[in-house]
Amino acid sequence: MNTIKILYINIILSRLGVSNKKGIFESDRKLLHTGDYELDLSISDFEEQLTRTILSHKGDGLNLNIQSTKKRSYVDIELLVGEEDDEPNIEYLLHFLESFKSKVEKQEQTYKLSDFENYIYIECYSSDESELLIKALEKENVGA
Is the pTM higher than 0.85? no
Residue 103 and residue 98: Cα distance in Å, rounded?
A: 11
Domain boundaries, the chain: 5-108, 110-144
Q: What is the pLDDT along the chain (144 residues), one digit of tens a residue?
A: 457 888 999 999 999 888 888 888 888 889 999 999 998 889 999 999 999 999 998 888 889 999 988 888 999 999 999 888 888 899 999 999 998 987 654 544 555 555 555 556 676 667 777 788 888 878 877 765
| Rg of the chain, C-alpha, whole Å | 17
Residue 89 and residue 106: Cα distance in Å, rounded?
A: 27
